[in-house]
Structure 1
Amino acid sequence: MKTLVLGFLLMAVCSALSPEEIQRLEKMPGHMKPFGSAGPYFDIPVVNEYPSTRDFFNKYVIGSTPLVIKGAVKETIAYRNWTDEYFIQHPKSKELVFAEARKKEVRTEGGFTISFRKYVKHYTKKAMYMVNGVPKFLKPDVPLPNPLKCKEVMAKLADTVMWYSDGGTRSVLHNDDVDNINCLYRGNKTLVFVNRFDTDNEWVNKVIEHPESSY
């Protein structure tokens, strides 16, 4: 499987860059094209089951190396049962969640609170994007990945977040202050990674919209 690892940004952010920097970027491959479309491309390791805790942390977490684990959640209740009908009919689905009134992330604008059941009934009819902790009544459906089940790791887990929409959502270019395991249950998701260690820090801090770290 191939994904994108960017060592440079392929668009000009006029409000943050000098005229000279903009001219330099305009000459780069991929200028004014979709972010990441010009590569460079690198092979990402693909496995069919979770590695051991030791290998997971030593090879991937500490080494800051992306990893694709195919079929890792197929045996979970969430993978088998999570449908709109399942959510709506759940007796505890009135739990409140946070949603954004747009599909393109704008972190300076707020969102709104809505019951999970109501969100599921309307998210395909309006531009809404739920970004919320997994509702309490659904957490038993999502088991903790095997490499994270030791006490030392469990004590440091930050959150379990649920992204839920009918597609077409886009995030800002940002930096996460925690390591992530993205579990895809429906649809598809494209991740573009920027290797800031191979790029000038001053320049990266200008173009990453939220370098202060937030997931």
Structure 2
Amino acid sequence: MNGCRIVIFSIVQLAVVVVADDPPGHMQHIGSHMPPMPIEERDDFPNPIEFYDKYIAPAKPVVFKGVAKKFPNFNNLRNDSYLRELYGDATFSIEPLKEEVIIKQPIPMKMSEFLSVYEKEDVYIMELIDEIPFADEVFVPKPLLCESFFKLLNMVAMWFSSGGSNSLLHNDSVENLNCLYDGRKDLLLIDPKYEDSLSLLHVLPNEISNISSLDVEKVDMYKYGNLSTIPWYGATIEAGDCFYMPIRWFHQLKGLKGRNFAINFWFDPVNHQTFHKDCINTFFPEYETLPHYRKNPAMSLEK
């Protein structure tokens, strides 16, 4: 019996030694290799000039806490009955919740059908908002209410799922302002100055994003050892928060289980000279509807 105990103890002791020798964060979620650095938080929207000078120009991420609660439809978009009544017959693009490097063709589905299955099936809506009726639900936040941003607005998208999503690590060739109406997300950001150290990205055919092939849930630190020395920024985004991710910053979003709804705005890089010329001496409200903003990006904002 004592001999068996010695063998068992030796096996356990060996296992502990092997685990202890693994690199920090090995086979754990991305970011587990070291604590995050904080992202600046503020409880108000800056005007477009301050937004550019303090965040876009220096490429500095920021979280605007609770600001989306000011939008008139904040509670409506948190209500499935409201969406079913107004948009039940509208068709949206449905994709599998588990993201892959090879992007699959979205499946069209009516909102009413999606609302019946999204809590049980591995699907989510990612829909570019253009002329579909849902454009009336989008409120453009104060930081983007300037003709310069209107000229640069690339895409507006809606994201809707039952949560539990885990995006791949990627970066975009556009600026990004995202507003979360429902749910919670853990945000991980990596400065693009570490791009050469990552050496693990694949370029998609559309060239909008670079997407990593690494498993963000179980990072192989032997294969991707350079990650162990790369610092990262982190924040928990809650319902009502908006956050800015600068162009080319690598990011990964982990959604907590539960209803998740967001609107995000992608816009092209800003030119300093034309930006200040377009935005100076102008009154900016807290928000503007997307259709009105598209029709009158500057005139509607005059005092």
Q: TM-score, normalised by structure 1?
A: 0.78
Q: Is the 8 A contact 1:175 1:208 kept in 2?
A: no
Match of 1:34 in 2: 29
1:43 aligns with 2:38: yes
Q: Shift in Å at residue 116 of structure 1?
A: 2.0
- Any idea what SS the aligned residue of 1:160 has? strand
2: distance between equivalents of 1:29 and 1:143? 43
Give 1:141's aligned amino acid: E
1:75-98 Cα distance to aligned partner (Å, 9 max, x none): 2133121211111111x4322211
Return the alpha-carbon distance in structure 1 between the equivalents of residues 44 and 155 of structure 2.
Answer: 23
Q: How does 1:29-178 map to 2 (within 5 A)?
A: 29-82=24-77, 83-90=79-86, 92-100=87-95, 102-108=96-102, 109-134=104-129, 136-178=132-174
Residue 233 of structure 2 is matched in structure 1 by none
Structure having the higher helix fraction is: 2
Deviation, 1:208, is 2.8
More strand by share: 2
- Structure 2: where are the runs of 5+ without partners? 1-20, 210-265, 267-303
Q: How many residues are paired up?
A: 185
**Partner residue in 2 for 1:192:** 188
Percent sequence identity is: 29
Question: 2 CA distance for matches of 1:88 and 1:60?
Answer: 38
Between structure 1 and structure 2, the one with the greater Rg is: 2
Q: Deviations over 1:115-160 (max 9, x none)?
A: 1222122111211111112473222222111111111111110111
Q: Secondary structure at the match of 2:68?
A: coil
What amino acid is the match of 1:103? L
Distance 2:39 2:169 in 1: 21
Deviations 1:39-69 (A, max 9, x none): 3421221111101211211111121111110
Match of 1:208 among 171, 181, 201: 201
Q: Which runs of 4+ in 1 moved over 6 A?
A: none
Q: Secondary structure at the match of 2:189?
A: strand
Shift in Å, 1:163: 1.1
Counterpart-to-counterpart distance in 1, 2:203 and 2:116: 32
Distance 2:136 2:75 in 1: 13
Distance in 2, Cα, partners of 1:88 & 1:37: 40
What is the CA distance between 1:27 and its match in structure 2?
5.5
Q: Is the 8 A contact 1:76 1:142 kept in 2?
A: no
Unpaired stretches in structure 1, ≥5 consecutive residues: 1-25
2:99 alignment partner AA? E
- Structure 2 length normalisation: TM-score? 0.56
Q: What amino acid maps onto 1:193 in structure 2?
A: L
Q: 1:118 to 1:164 in 2, by over 3 A?
A: same
What amino acid sits opposite 1:31 in the alignment? Answer: H
**Would the alpha carbon gap of residues 200 and 134 (structure 1) be closer, same or farther in structure 2, given more than 3 Å must change?**
closer
Deviations 1:159-180 (A, max 9, x none): 1111111011121111111111
Look up the match of 2:217: none
Partner of 2:175: 179
Structure 2 Cα separation of the partners of residues 200 and 139 of structure 1: 36
Mean alpha-carbon deviation: is it higher for 113-122 or for 26-35? Answer: 26-35
Given that 1:93 and 1:137 are in contact with CA atoms closer than 8 Å, whether structure 2 keeps it comes out as: no
